[in-house]
Amino acid sequence: MSKQVRTRFAPSPTGYLHVGGLRTALFNYLYARHHGGSFVLRIEDTDQTRYVEGATEQLIESLKWAGLSYDEGPDVGGDYGPYVQSQRLGIYREHAEKLLASGDAYYCFCTPEELEAMRERQISRGEQPMYDGTCRSLTTEEVQKKLDEGIPHVIRLKMPREGETVVEDVIRGTVRFQNELVDDQILIKSDGFPTYHLANVVDDHLMEITHVIRGEEWLQSVPKHLQLYKAFGWEPPVMAHIPLLLNPDRSKLSKRQGDVSVEDYREKGYLPQALVNFVALLGWNPGTDEEFFTLEELVQQFSLERVHKAGAVFDINKLNWMNGHYIRQLSEDELVSFLTPFLEKAGADVSDAEKTRKIILAVYKKIERGIDVYDAASIFYKETLEVVEKEAVEILTQETTCTVLRNFLQKLDTVDTLSMDNFKELMKTVQQETGIKGPALWKPMRVALTGMVSGPELPAVIEIFGKEKVSRFIRQMVEEYC
Partner RNA sequence: GCUCCCAUCGUCUAGAGGCCUAGGACUCCGGCCUUUCACGCCGGCAACGGGGGUUCGAGUCCCCCUGGGAGCGCCA
Annotated catalytic residues are: 255
Binding to RNA, residues 35-64 (CB under 7 A): 44, 46-47, 49-50
Binding of RNA by 195 (CB under 7 A): yes
Binding of RNA by 246 (CB under 7 A): yes
Binding to RNA, residues 200-219 (CB under 7 A): 216-219
* Burial class for 367, CB neighbours closer than 10 Å (0-12, 13-18, 19+): buried
The number of residues in the chain equals 482
Nearer to RNA, 3 or 424 (CB): 424
Nearer to RNA, 309 or 382 (CB): 309
Q: Name the phi and psi angles at 136, rounded to 5.
A: -65, -35
CA distances from 209 to 6, 28, 61, 236 (A): 5, 11, 24, 9
Binding of RNA by 455 (CB under 7 A): yes
Nearer to RNA, 181 or 353 (CB): 181
User: CB of residue 128 vs RNA: minimum separation in angstroms?
Assistant: 4
Binding to RNA, residues 1-20 (CB under 7 A): 10-12
- Measured CA to CA, the distance from residue 319 to residue 323 in angstroms comes to 6
- Measured CA to CA, the distance from residue 476 to residue 448 in angstroms comes to 8
| Stretch binding RNA (CB under 7 A), from 32-40, 53-61, 126-134, 135-143 | 126-134
User: With the C-alpha atoms ordered 387, 389, 390, 395, is the resulting torsion angle positive or negative?
Assistant: negative
Q: Which of 41, 113, 119, 34 is nearest to 73 (CA)?
A: 41
One-letter amino acid identity for 103?
G
- Measured CA to CA, the distance from residue 355 to residue 363 in angstroms comes to 13
User: CB of residue 376 vs RNA: minimum separation in angstroms?
Assistant: 9
| Stretch binding RNA (CB under 7 A), from 96-104, 230-238, 275-283, 330-338 | 275-283
Binding of RNA by 115 (CB under 7 A): yes
Binding of RNA by 282 (CB under 7 A): yes
Q: By rule CB under 7 A, what string of x and - marks binding of each residue 58-97 to RNA?
A: ----------------------------------------
User: CB of residue 208 vs RNA: minimum separation in angstroms?
Assistant: 19
User: CB of residue 351 vs RNA: minimum separation in angstroms?
Assistant: 26
Binding of RNA by 273 (CB under 7 A): no
Binding of RNA by 317 (CB under 7 A): yes
- Measured CA to CA, the distance from residue 40 to residue 81 in angstroms comes to 10
User: CB of residue 91 vs RNA: minimum separation in angstroms?
Assistant: 15
Binding of RNA by 126 (CB under 7 A): yes
How are strands ordered across the β-sheet holding 38-41? 38-41, 6-9, 211-215, 238-242, 164-169, 173-178
User: CB of residue 315 vs RNA: minimum separation in angstroms?
Assistant: 3
- Measured CA to CA, the distance from residue 62 to residue 45 in angstroms comes to 18
> Which secondary-structure segment (H or E) carries 458?
helix 458-465
Q: Which of 76, 361, 453, 478 binds RNA (CB under 7 A)?
A: 453
Question: Nearest-5° angle of CA 414, CA 377, CA 458?
Answer: 35
Q: Which of 255, 454, 468, 482 binds RNA (CB under 7 A)?
A: 454
